[in-house]
Amino acid sequence: MTLIGQRIPKLDAADKATGRSRYIQDLRLPGLLEARVLRSTVPHGRIVSVDVSRAREAPGVFAVLASQDIPPKRYGYAKDTTALKGDRVRRIGDEIAAVAAVDADAAAEALDLIRFEIEPLPAVFDPERTLDPGAPLVHEDRGSNLVRTHDYAHGRVEEGFARAAHVVEGTFRLPAQAHGCLGPAGAVAEWDARGRLTLHDPTQIPFLIQRDLADTLGIPPSDLRIIQPTIAGGFGARLDLYPHEIISALLARAAGRPVRLAMDREEDFATDPVRPRTVVRMRTAAAADGALLAREADVIVDCGAYVSWGAVTPIVMMHTMGSFYRVPHVKYRARTVYTNTAPTGAFRGFGNPEITFAIESQMDELAARIGIDPVEMRLRNANQPGEVTPQGSRITSCGMKECLEAVRERMPPPGTRPPGGRPLLRAAGENLVASATQTETESPSSPAICPAGRIEGTEPARSPLRRGIGVAAVFHVGGGARIYRSDGCGAMVKIDDFGKATVVVGATDIGQGMETVAAQMAAEELGVPLEAVRIAPADTDVRPWDVGVHASRTTFIAGNAVRAAAKDAKRQIEAARTALGLPPDTPYDKVVRSEHFRDQGSLVIGRAYFDPPNAMVDAENKGNVSAAYVFGAHAAEVEVDVETGQVRVLRVVAAHDVGRAINPMYVEGQIEGGVMQGIGYALLEEVILREGGMSNPNFLDYRMPGPQDMPSIETVIVETNDPSGPFGAKGIGEPPLVPVAAAIANAVANATGVRLRELPMTPERVWRALRAWADVEAPGEICGKE
């Protein structure tokens, strides 16, 4: 192979680096108007009146809309919302009215002229209290704040716990996390004279938007065209139909001119979907030799005021519960609930970082109880190639063992001196004196930090800095994820009479390098240089169907489609050579020209549609949802200041089974980016809510990791050559984020003896946890465990 496995720069790298790429904010159309939205400032209330008459008379205003001006069409996963709210607002930021004017200033001035009255109603913000008797109902017509319950079980879980030599349990609290995409959300809508709508939209699901938006607007989907500009980040934030897309189209229709509705930074933070707040109550059982026996979890997931993709994350958690490691007895229940907060959506990892944090924390706790190395604990229970889990996941290629061994080889074992650092205080699993506050469910080997600030039985520390190493593994889909009836993608490869190949593929590039990887695969299959391949623009009028960019599916599914289409085009070329009597080494351009000019000639266009061999879950929530699964392991070395609670990540070793690295540079980039996003989730990032509204909606107050937070990251690519993947490849977009928080929490526990079960592990939370262990007279609530 000449192109597969090569470190080829992204095709759009130069345009992005030099400012030639056009984002939604850069788009200019003749007569373009700018739009602004009037939003609710109360979390729950009855709309008494909305008066837009003065705004309609304001200078430069072309259109003003309130709910009475648009069809009362409900949309969304649960059909529980409208683009402009007419009777109730259910969260701070709900859309009440919208204005389109000659510029943003004129639109903002018109908004100030709108008079409205909202009668406040009782609200509920805590997902753990929303199902309490008497809690305010977010949607009164539904009669309950319970959105959905997911139940899953295999084996006999109580029997597993009864046989266990060791049981650990705890409550884990995970925060809402904002996407923080470099480019805020926005859309530009334009209607033509025939009533056909073109929407310029950095969406991750153009073909699903085409259907859903058309239904909301009351037009045929064939009258809606989606053009995707350069997308400045997605991570799941652009994976649904959102109010701004509908409102921009309605304003453009009312104004008779194109309209852009683009969020500013604070508006984007405050209204974008977020990773759901999640509470996981979990217990895990193991035999004396470390073999896992049982796992049970009760999960609460906050879906916010309206149902979006955040409400579906329990499905991914369910698969991790049932298939990650070999566990004979599993029971799982997840309840998704309404609150008067921002809707929650898809976020990189899609529920897996939340459940993996609990699973991998308890793997370390069990290893400590049993007295074995944490990596060895995982190796004894690791998934194997060729196995079918009780949940139904068919594991084809599996490099879990190789990933675990890779991080163990590259990270100094606990108890040794890290390069340039101090000796670690203890080895993982070493038995230390237990705290006086120990409960029956705590590990007897949990160490106590003494009031003197030292580990019991050691000399007083001279420095407040402690170093520790933690490990965590990951199981994730890597060959699609069938949550729709279709998980497919179409592709075409056209060879022109100059020998150039144009790849037309339904998949979306959100910065992950899809277009370059597709070009590499097509060029490799055709046997032509990369420079001979072009990628067609992202336009639903041109590109074939694809379900969207999510679930780490694009390389596997779009790649298979592109490779098959290229094979079809090559077959046509070879058939034409034979029919025309041309030598086998005749160049493509001459073959195609000869085919064009002969009597009854034809075009050379290869076509393919790839829908993977996976299945939706059945009535028992079992089934093989992905055609391939990816595995990985991370080891993190941290330094903890026990006087301030500050945690600094010094080094991360991240090993991932990718099947085959089509472009190792992109794989490394995905891993490094996932590690940094995971560090943010572990230590820094949290949507702070006050009375339902985000109180930190900017990059100053919403703390994301920057260059100063970046540790040394060593990436290890493990290739297992999946039999179903294109050239053996599997997906890698999401997995690198998933185990990061657990690895860091395990490293903090290794350094200090304190187990944190709530994210982010801010200095204050760490400091309070350390003090709680030290102060045996007033232990309080320790690390989220009651």
Locate tokens 């694009």: which residue? Answer: 554
Q: Has residue 337 been placed in a domain?
A: yes
Residue 773's pLDDT is: 77
What six digits make up the tokens of 674? Answer: 């996932």
| Residue 622 placed within a domain | no
Q: Is residue 786 assigned to a domain?
A: no
618 part of a folded domain = no
Q: Do both 69 and 144 map to the same domain?
A: no
Which ranges of 598-663 would DSSP assign to H, the alpha helix? none
Q: What is the pLDDT of residues 561-601, one digit of tens each?
A: 999 999 999 999 999 999 999 999 999 999 999 999 988 88
Q: Which structural domain range is residue 594 located in?
A: 488-610
For the chain, list residues with pLDDT below 70.
413-462, 775-786
- pLDDT on residue 443: 36
C-alpha–C-alpha distance, residues 762 and 646, integer Å = 7
The C-alpha atoms of residue 592 and residue 580 are separated, in whole angstroms, by 11
Of 86, 62, 54, give the one whose Cα is nearest residue 73. Answer: 86
| pLDDT per residue as tens digits for the range 652-687 | 999 999 999 999 999 999 999 999 999 999 999 999
What is the token pair recorded at 460? 């007083």
Cα distances (Å, whole numbers) of residue 74 to 83, 84, 567: 8, 10, 44
Q: Residue 696 is encoded by which pair of tokens?
A: 């930190």
Nearest Cα to 736, choosing from 710, 761, 709, 716?
Answer: 716
Written in H, E and C, the secondary structure of 55-99 is HHCCCCEEEEEEHHHCCCCCECCCCCECCCCCCEECCCCCEEEEE
Do 129 and 113 reside in the same domain of the chain?
A: no
d(CA 449, CA 451): 7
What's the pTM value of the predicted model, to 2 decimals?
0.93
- Per the domain annotation, does 623 fall within a domain? no
Q: Look at residues 333, 354, 383 and tell me which one is the last residue of a structural domain.
A: 383
When divided into structural domains, the chain yields a total of: 4
Instruction: Assess contact for 555 and 726: CB atoms under 8 A.
Output: yes
Calpha distance 646→73 (Å, rounded): 50
Distance CA 336, CA 334 (A): 7
SS (H, E, C) 501-559: EEEEECCCCCCCCHHHHHHHHHHHHHCCCHHHEEECCCECCCCCCECCCCCCCHHHHHH
H helices of 604-739, in order, are 664-679
- The answer to the question of residue 550 being in a domain is yes
What is d(CA 230, CA 21) in angstroms, rounded to the nearest whole number? 6
Amino acid identity, position 140: E
Please tell me whether residue 243 adopts helix, strand or coil conformation.
helix
Q: Report how far residue 635's alpha carbon sits from residue 744's, in angstroms, rounded to the nearest whole number.
A: 8
| 544 and 595 share one domain | yes
Cβ atoms of 638 and 648 within 8 Å: the answer is yes
- Locate 618 and state its tokens: 């059945």
From 383, 414, 430, give the residue that closes a domain: 383
> In CATH, what number is assigned to the domain containing residue 102?
3.90.1170.50
Q: Kindly state the helix (H) or strand (E) to which residue 36 belongs, with its residue range.
A: strand 33-39
- Expressed in angstroms, the distance from the first to the final Cα of the chain is 57
Residues 140 and 283 in one domain: yes
Query: Is 785 a member of any domain?
Result: no
* Distances 35 to 186, 256, 257, 538 between C-alpha atoms, Å: 10, 14, 12, 25
Whether residue 721 lies inside any domain: the answer is yes
Last residue of a domain, one of 358, 383, 408: 383
Inter-residue contact 369 to 443 (CB < 8 Å): yes
Tell me the HSE value of 310 on the side-chain side, using a 13 A CA sphere: 30
Long-range contacts of 108-112 (CB under 8 A, 24+ apart): 108/36, 109/58, 110/36, 110/55, 110/58, 110/60, 110/61, 110/64, 111/36, 111/37, 111/38, 111/55
pLDDT of residue 56: 97
Q: Residue 717: name the closest of 617, 605, 645, 630 by CA.
A: 630
**Are 279 and 128 contacting, i.e. CB atoms less than 8 angstroms apart?**
yes
Residue 210 identity = Q
Q: What are the angstrom distances between the C-alpha of 721 and each of 153, 275, 303?
A: 32, 32, 38
Residues 767 and 657 in one domain: yes
DSSP string, 540-607: TTTSPPB--S-TT-HHHHHHHHHHHHHHHHHHHHHHHHHHHT--TT--HHHHHHHHHHSTT---EEEE
Examine the domain organization and report whether 457 and 596 are in the same domain.
no
CA–CA dist 437, 773 (Å, integer) = 8
d(CA 76, CA 338): 15
Residue 419 shares a structural domain with residue 337: no
Q: Are residues 101 and 143 in the same domain?
A: no
With a CB cutoff of 8 Å and minimum separation 6, the contacts of 600 are: none
Check whether residue 451 and residue 543 sit in a common domain. Answer: no
Letter string b/e over residues 416-440, b meaning 16 or more CB atoms within 10 A of that residue's CB: eebeeeeebbbebbeebebbeeeee
Residues 6+ apart with CB under 8 A from 148: 311, 314, 335, 336
In a shared domain, residues 706 and 641: yes
> What CATH number has the domain bearing residue 574?
3.30.365.10
Task: Say if residue 106 is in the same domain as residue 221.
Answer: yes
82 is written with which tokens?
């409208």
Q: Are residues 312 and 345 in the same domain?
A: yes
Give the mean pLDDT of the chain. Answer: 91
